[in-house]
Amino acid sequence: MAGKIKVLIVDDSAVVRQVLTDVLESDPEITVIATAPDPYVAAERIEREVPDVITLDIEMPRMDGITFLEKLMAQHPIPVVMCSSLSEAGCASALRALELGAVALLAKPRLGVKDYLKEAQILICDTVKAAARARPRRTPVVEKKLTADAVLAKAAGRAMIQTTDKVVVIGASTGGTEAIRCVLQDIPADAPGIVVVQHMPEKFTRTFADSLNQSCRITVKEAHDQDSVTRGLALIAPGNYHTLLKRSGARYYVEVRDGPLVSRHRPSVDVLFRSASRYAGPNAVGVILTGMGDDGARGMQELKEAGAVTIAQDEASCVVFGMPAEAIRLGGIDHVVALDDIAQKIVRLCS
């Protein structure tokens, strides 16, 4: 167990506890030190040994996961990954958990599938690894990572420049939901069109977009294939689908498509940034926010090479300084900016 990420699984379903245990322990860097059917048993387990990460169900007997999370964040902050159903209520509760301090969320694993999908194993294990490196606030060998080439070939020349309209592309992962909220809430109503990739399971993105739409001056919605990217609008890439920026004449729009995991994700920030470098080039502003891993780093480098202006969230304000750090390391960043100042920076660059 030395050096392994220690996980506590809290879920009232014995089957789910076993499935998650099998999936997590298929990764040599992770060990499940205990499981618990409810928060009361979980509290006893934590007293014996503090885990590095807790996976937490939302609907449980005796105490629900949201109440337990509130108590945990106030008394003993530990990185928490929420496991939620794909129902409308489950999605809303999961987003509330992220607001309270959970660092990531997962869709509950599909049961009854004998050979668990390899992609699901990758996403679950990577999410737990990301959570282990997070700084929660108080109140198996896998396949080689694919690059954006798997979805969109690199442009042979520079991007088309028939339009001077600006467009903003944003990528985020662990801790990104609240970072995106912080940025978009400060964006004025007449700002250039925005496309966002946040690593999040299918169906959660619609609830996330609806929540943002209620609190932002701009309109925010989940992206659909062929949606136009217009001033005063932010499109959130739907979970489990790649979202690309395209252009027809002076009109920007998005293409939503299936495809393989790219940089271990779908949607992938690298895919969005690659498409923006091709179809917007110097008219784009690229922003990379908090997140584990390197998704978006190569795409950000391509954006800069295409003449775009690029921004990375600074380390002090990140939950996990992984994706921004990789983009900086590759030389793809023009400005490193604190989270609270990013919206103002975007507005100035687009003026």
> Domain 5-132: what homologous superfamily?
Response regulator (3.40.50.2300)
Q: Cite the beta strand spans of the chain per DSSP E.
A: 5-10, 30-36, 53-57, 80-84, 104-107, 167-172, 193-198, 219-222, 233-236, 242-248, 251-257, 284-288, 309-313, 335-337
Asked if residues 127 and 29 have their Cβ atoms less than 8 Å apart, the reply is no
Q: Using one digit for the tens of pLDDT, what is the confidence trace for 89-104?
A: 778 888 889 989 999 9
Question: Would you state the pLDDT for residue 134?
Answer: 87
Cα–Cα nearest to 170, from 161, 159, 181:
181
Q: Which of 173, 211, 263, 275 is catalytic?
A: 173
Question: Would you state the pLDDT for residue 181?
Answer: 96
Q: Using one digit for the tens of pLDDT, what is the confidence trace for 52-85?
A: 999 999 989 889 999 999 999 988 889 999 988 7
Residue entry with tokens 């298929």? 26
Fold match between 5-132 and 148-350? yes
Q: Give the angle 243-248-253 at the CA atoms, nearest 5°.
A: 30
Q: How confident is residue 122, by pLDDT bands cut at 50, 70 and 90?
A: confident
Q: Which of 277, 295, 314, 317 is catalytic?
A: 295
Asked if residues 26 and 140 have their Cβ atoms less than 8 Å apart, the reply is yes
Q: Using one digit for the tens of pLDDT, what is the confidence trace for 133-157?
A: 887 765 443 445 666 776 766 665 5
For the segment 234-262, the average pLDDT, to the nearest whole number, is: 95
Question: Would you state the pLDDT for residue 106?
Answer: 87
Domain boundaries, the chain: 5-132, 148-350
Please state which CATH number belongs to domain 148-350.
3.40.50.180
H or E stretch covering 257: strand 251-257
Task: Fill in the amino acid letter for 268.
Answer: S
Annotation marks residue 199 as catalytic: yes
Q: How confident is residue 164, by pLDDT bands cut at 50, 70 and 90?
A: low
For the segment 232-252, the average pLDDT, to the nearest whole number, is: 95
Asked if residues 253 and 243 have their Cβ atoms less than 8 Å apart, the reply is no
**pLDDT mean across residues, the chain:** 89
Q: Which of 38, 52, 84, 199 is catalytic?
A: 199
Q: CA torsion, points 311, 316, 320, 323, in degrees to nearest 10?
A: 20
Q: Using one digit for the tens of pLDDT, what is the confidence trace for 211-221?
A: 999 999 999 99
Question: Would you state the pLDDT for residue 144?
Answer: 52
Q: Using one digit for the tens of pLDDT, what is the confidence trace for 258-279?
A: 999 999 899 999 999 999 999 9
| 125, pLDDT greater than 60 | yes
